[in-house]
């Protein structure tokens, strides 16, 4: 199977449990993640009575404007990314602060029927698509052949699981960067903002940029107040990009 776009599922979102002895005067629409951040912010000044009569999303707009990013760190969102390439995840896992990752292991999992992700720049050009598909198919054939030969070479290893691992970890060397992978990514809203700013920008690589824009749309829906200052637009290279209003250094 060849993926032409990522498949993104929300695995978890915050559940806010308001303590009965410190109730907040909530105003306006909000989600649990947003209320959690507002609660944390208000605790700093014990302003639960909401003297300025701010709606949650107004309050959080001000938090972003002032650069009080730590308040956003309380809200974590976990996403499952599928239909993304190993080259995308290689770039993604460089984002460390506030992130957690669990990714499919090519040492344990058999890749002889692996899927591939066509780079966006190739999609739509018949000749390029053909050339690319031929190469990934050849690579997969080479992988299958190598696993077989390595299993024979190490037939004397008594533990079959260990033997398979030895074969797969060596054979994966011929698989391309375009091999599909799956990864669970958890990050707090502040960390998501930093990563999305960098990877949805025009300077980012096309596949991760497309993924970042898709994540942005999902998270904007989950918690509009955390991501409302991102603007998605059509860039000069005819692909979508996004820019942020409140950049945090």
Ligand X SMILES: Cc1cc2nc3c(=O)[nH]c(=O)nc-3n(C[C@H](O)[C@H](O)[C@H](O)COP(=O)(O)OP(=O)(O)OC[C@H]3O[C@@H](n4cnc5c(N)ncnc54)[C@H](O)[C@@H]3O)c2cc1C
Catalytic residue set: 199
How do beta strands 2-3 and 116-117 pair? parallel
**Closest distance to ligand X from the beta carbon of 197 (Å):** 9
Q: Which of 178, 185, 182, 181 is nearest to 218 (CA)?
A: 185
Q: What does the binding site for ligand X look like in residue numbers (CB under 6 A)?
A: 94-97, 194, 198-199, 203-204
CB 97 within 8 A of CB 191: yes
**Closest distance to ligand X from the beta carbon of 201 (Å):** 7
**Between 52 and 97, CB nearer to ligand X:** 97
Report residue 79: phi and psi, to 5°: -125, 145
**Closest distance to ligand X from the beta carbon of 211 (Å):** 13
Give me the residue whose beta carbon is nearest to ligand X.
96
Report residue 123: phi and psi, to 5°: -60, 130
**Closest distance to ligand X from the beta carbon of 135 (Å):** 23
**Between 90 and 141, CB nearer to ligand X:** 90
**Between 181 and 194, CB nearer to ligand X:** 194
Report the alpha-carbon distance of residue 226 to residue 219 in Å, rounded: 8
**Between 90 and 130, CB nearer to ligand X:** 90
Buried b (16+ CB within 10 A) or exposed e, 219-245: bbebbbbbbebbeeeeeeeeebbbebe
Report the alpha-carbon distance of residue 13 to residue 189 in Å, rounded: 11
């Amino acid at each position: 199977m060849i993926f032409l776009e990522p498949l993104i599922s929300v695995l978890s979102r915050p559940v806010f449990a308001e303590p009965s002895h410190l109730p907040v005067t909530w105003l306006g629409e909000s989600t649990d993640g947003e209320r959690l951040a507002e609660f944390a912010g208000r605790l700093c000044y014990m302003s639960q009575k909401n003297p300025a009569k701010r709606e949650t999303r107004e309050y959080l707009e001000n938090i972003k404007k002032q650069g009080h990013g730590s308040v956003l760190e309380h809200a974590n969102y976990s996403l499952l990314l599928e239909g993304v390439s190993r080259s995308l995840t290689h770039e993604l896992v460089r984002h460390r602060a506030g992130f957690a990752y669990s990714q499919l292991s090519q040492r344990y999992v058999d890749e002889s029927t692996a899927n591939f992700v066509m780079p966006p720049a190739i999609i739509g050009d018949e000749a390029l698509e053909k050339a690319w598909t031929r190469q990934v198919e050849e690579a997969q054939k080479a992988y299958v052949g190598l696993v077989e030969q390595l299993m024979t070479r190490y037939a004397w290893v008594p533990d079959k699981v260990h033997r398979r691992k030895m074969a797969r970890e060596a054979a994966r060397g011929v698989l391309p960067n375009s091999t599909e992978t799956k990864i669970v990514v958890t990050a707090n809203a502040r960390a998501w903002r930093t990563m999305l700013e960098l990877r949805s920008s025009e300077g980012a690589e096309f596949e991760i940029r497309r993924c970042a824009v898709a994540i942005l749309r999902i998270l904007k829906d989950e918690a509009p107040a955390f991501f409302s200052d991102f603007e998605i637009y059509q860039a000069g290279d005819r692909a979508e990009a996004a820019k942020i209003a409140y950049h945090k250094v």
